[in-house]
Structure 1
Amino acid sequence: MTTTDLPSETLRARHRAVLPAWLATYYREPIELTHGEGRYVWDSAGNRYLDFFGGILTTMTAHALPEVTRAVAEQAGRILHTSTLYLSTPMVELAEQIAELSGIPDAKVFFTTSGTEANDTALLLATTYRRSNQILALRNSYHGRSFSTVGVTGNTSWSPTSLSPLQTLYVHGGVRAAGPYTQLSDAEFTAACVADLEDMLGQAEGTVAALIAEPIQGVGGFTRGPDGLLAAFRRVLDRHGILWISDEVQTGWGRTGDHFWGWQAHGQAGPPDVLTFAKGIANGMSMGGVVARAEVMDCLGANSISTFGGSPITCAAALANLRYLLEHDLQANARRTGTLLRAQLEAARLELPIVREVRGRGLMLGVALPDAATATATLEHARELGLLIGKGGRGGEALRIAPPLSLTEAEALEGAKLLVEALRRADAERGAEA
């Protein structure tokens, strides 16, 4: 399908006039999405797209999922908002379920409104608990857009300021196919990264509070180290009493297929001390949160509340969404359809020179391309064909593919066909320019 009749220049002009210049939009002619159903969305001109990005991995189950929309409508008819100053059955029930699913012993949960705020809270907890503002983070990482989370983001294209309340020490391990350890085996790569961590700790002054790490780097282009790397890191951290924060904002809830949480690919060392989540849990409603051991969660000595975190309506959406995900075993579906989708992309890699690498797992797949211009061209061609995908990587050179977890096998094949055609067109253009 070729899309037509893109939104008028009027809305784009109004957008530019009142919203920040740094607020990025996709496409030469940005589109406005007005409604969706299942794995499809429609723009304001009536064009239909197969959604392989889910509003940045946030429409986790499906667009307009009846179970979620019904739960939201029913809760809206009762009460929309109360704040954490009052007891809330939906918040307690959701916290109980997430604490149990987290794998963290003696877990407590604090709800926020975004992944940025969740990571910000995790950093507050860790630095307070350890009485230190020193944080370990991975190169190429992304943890949010607040002042503190920008300070632990290792992807420089998403770090607008070098100022930070934290002293951040960056270590290797987030990117397998680039950097000084690329040619090593997985075991050698892990050993080299552990040695780098040990060396960094030897240079640190005093106590280090925590390591924060995405099991698969999201904005970084769905890159990751070998399975077991974070477990090897954990053994070093434990010797120093350093906390491990697993940023599951993009990897959680079964998206990787093989595991419910990304940290479980490194499960030899057990669960993290702190786990952060957001994105898909409420299927588009604004929710994030932190799970931590009780002694870590309870370490704050000052009063604190959340006006919007854990609101009745977002908790109602999240409860219905989580119930649907578990009852329909969408983790297994992510593994099945993700395997099918990846096979199509791996086949395309053999015939298209621009496809440098296919990476990720489950329905969290990345395609590494030569440069940002090629990725942008592929994004445009995919939209023209009726497919929405994302971009990432340190220089914007990677495609990000993350459909709703209810994706069918037929839709996986349809999307793969459209994406391969978009890649083929971008490859042809690049060849012509050369």
Structure 2
Amino acid sequence: MTTDDLLARHRAVLPSWMPLYYDEPIELVSGAGRRVTDAQGRTYLDFFGGVLTNMIGYDIPEIRDAVERQLRTGIVHSSTLYLIRQQVELAEKVARLSGIPDARVFFTNSGTEANEAALLMATNHRRSHQVLAVRNSYHGRSYAAMGVTGNRGWSASPLNPLQVAWLHSGERLRGLLSRLDADEQVDAAVEDLREVLATQTAGDVAALIAEPIQGVGGFVHPPDGLFAAWKKVLDETGILFIADEVQTGWGRTGEHLWGYQAHGVTPDLLTFAKGIGNGFALAGVVGRAEVLESVPAISFSTFGGNPVSTAAGNAVLDYLLDHDLQANAARTGAILADGLRAAVADLDCVADVRGKGLMLAVEFVRPGGSEPDPARTARAFEACRAGGLLVGKGGLYGNVLRMGPPLTLTEDEAREGLDILVDAIRTAAEVPA
């Protein structure tokens, strides 16, 4: 079967709004370590990891063995009506590592479901459907999760079950707060929060949901400390804080296990997904017991926390901690970030190299200003693929290259990927605007 045959079949039966990467889409057929191979036999260094999901890499023996052991029992699914040892063991680890006192854990299949569950819990606990969210955010594709998504390219419906009031993001290139230094930006964001509460809400707000680093939004993040400053205001009236750690969790930022920890604050609820399953469908919400226990009726997730996925999750988390992958993310991320900043400092089409650890972005603009340049971004994106490197795209205007390599990335692989990235960016920069 040729890739062209598969592409035609894809277009015949799948919706047009489900995009495919690259002018000539590729089918990935095998993987090992940080590399994947397509149906044509070409191998790539993977710097996007299935959208930051293959966090440990591909074909990892410890994870494969854990899944195979569970499969050999014959119990792939039993439902949460029965005790699931792997689920309990993983919940114990997540609760302990969350930093949230007296924590409870509810498992789902995806980050979207985790955020939906967190919103359900918060609105029930506070008896209010009013929610604060952040501009340029993304929280998922279900009804309420879309309602708190502040990125029009990812908001598939104008309808919303929640009453949402919007706060300024950590955008550093555009917008009112971008003109301020870090301390001034925090002060202005707090003032904005107070004004939003006073003018756009009825007072009994349920929660604020925010990503420590905005994933789909192009790895935009606010100054460290902003969440703590926000939470001081929230605590005055008991408004809950939900940290969406779907992309930032598990040590990816290099600084901490969770993105929220850079702000010196503890959330009431924390959502996680993607990397914890390393490709197996696994996600969830962890939070204060009194908040999780506020669901007033029977509720469960048919496949959430199933024996196979949680077997994988336990193996992933053990591997991550045993190999100190957080420190590796800091080390290899610094090679990429420092190398990129030095190599593209003279290019006026690159407005920013940002991020933390192995969560890095390059933003392209039209030379001489801050106008987004998605066309140049697309050229750099295709040039990376031509050079043997897979990266992602994002940002509100589609003008950001996103890198989220597996946390097992080696220093040599970081330098190899850096060389390809720099060549691709310079190739894109040479084309007239």
What SS class does the counterpart of residue 216 from structure 2 fall into?
Answer: coil
> Do the aligned partners of 2:344 and 2:422 also contact (CA within 8 Å) in 1?
no
What SS class does the counterpart of residue 383 from structure 1 fall into?
Answer: helix
> Do the aligned partners of 2:136 and 2:169 also contact (CA within 8 Å) in 1?
no
1:7-406 equivalence runs, <5 A: 8-78=3-73, 79-203=75-199, 204-267=201-264, 270-370=265-365, 371-406=373-408
What SS class does the counterpart of residue 423 from structure 1 fall into?
Answer: helix
In the TM superposition, what is the alpha-carbon distance from 1:373 to its structure 2 partner? 1.2
Deviations 1:366-405 (A, max 9, x none): 1111111111111111001100000110011101001000
Deviations 1:142-181 (A, max 9, x none): 0001111010000111112110100111101332332112
In the TM superposition, what is the alpha-carbon distance from 1:7 to its structure 2 partner? 5.0
> Do the aligned partners of 2:352 and 2:362 also contact (CA within 8 Å) in 1?
yes
In the TM superposition, what is the alpha-carbon distance from 1:351 to its structure 2 partner? 2.7
- Name the CA distance, whole Å, in 2 between partners of 1:206 and 1:287: 35
Letter in 1 for 2:196: M
In the TM superposition, what is the alpha-carbon distance from 1:353 to its structure 2 partner? 2.4
Letter in 2 for 1:43: D
What SS class does the counterpart of residue 208 from structure 2 fall into?
Answer: strand
- Name the CA distance, whole Å, in 2 between partners of 1:282 and 1:261: 16
TM-score (norm 1): 0.96
Letter in 1 for 2:318: R
- Name the CA distance, whole Å, in 2 between partners of 1:58 and 1:275: 18
> Do the aligned partners of 1:349 and 1:357 also contact (CA within 8 Å) in 2?
no
What SS class does the counterpart of residue 290 from structure 2 fall into?
Answer: helix
Partner residue of 2:416 out of 408, 411, 414: 414
Deviations 1:246-292 (A, max 9, x none): 0000000000001110000011xx31000000000011100110001
Letter in 2 for 1:399: L
What SS class does the counterpart of residue 101 from structure 1 fall into?
Answer: helix
Letter in 2 for 1:386: G
- Name the CA distance, whole Å, in 2 between partners of 1:426 and 1:173: 29
- Name the CA distance, whole Å, in 2 between partners of 1:366 and 1:209: 32
> Do the aligned partners of 1:127 and 1:133 also contact (CA within 8 Å) in 2?
yes
CA RMSD in angstroms, aligned pairs only = 1.0
- Name the CA distance, whole Å, in 2 between partners of 1:283 and 1:120: 21
- Name the CA distance, whole Å, in 1 between partners of 2:196 and 2:332: 40
What SS class does the counterpart of residue 284 from structure 1 fall into?
Answer: coil
Deviations 1:99-123 (A, max 9, x none): 0000000000000000000000000
What SS class does the counterpart of residue 400 from structure 1 fall into?
Answer: strand
- Name the CA distance, whole Å, in 1 between partners of 2:160 and 2:86: 36
Q: Percent identity, please.
A: 57
Letter in 1 for 2:270: L
In the TM superposition, what is the alpha-carbon distance from 1:205 to its structure 2 partner? 1.4
Letter in 2 for 1:176: R
Higher mean C-alpha displacement, 116-125 vs 342-351: 342-351
Letter in 1 for 2:405: P
**5+ long unaligned stretches in structure 1:** 1-5
Higher mean C-alpha displacement, 365-374 vs 222-231: 365-374
Alignment length (residue pairs): 424
- Name the CA distance, whole Å, in 2 between partners of 1:181 and 1:301: 40
> Do the aligned partners of 1:227 and 1:266 also contact (CA within 8 Å) in 2?
yes
- Name the CA distance, whole Å, in 2 between partners of 1:352 and 1:67: 43
What SS class does the counterpart of residue 362 from structure 2 fall into?
Answer: strand
TM-score (norm 2): 0.97
Deviations 1:343-380 (A, max 9, x none): 11101221322211011100000111111111111111
Letter in 2 for 1:157: G
- Name the CA distance, whole Å, in 2 between partners of 1:280 and 1:185: 33
> Do the aligned partners of 2:3 and 2:39 also contact (CA within 8 Å) in 1?
no
Letter in 1 for 2:131: I
- Name the CA distance, whole Å, in 2 between partners of 1:109 and 1:387: 37
> Do the aligned partners of 1:52 and 1:402 also contact (CA within 8 Å) in 2?
yes
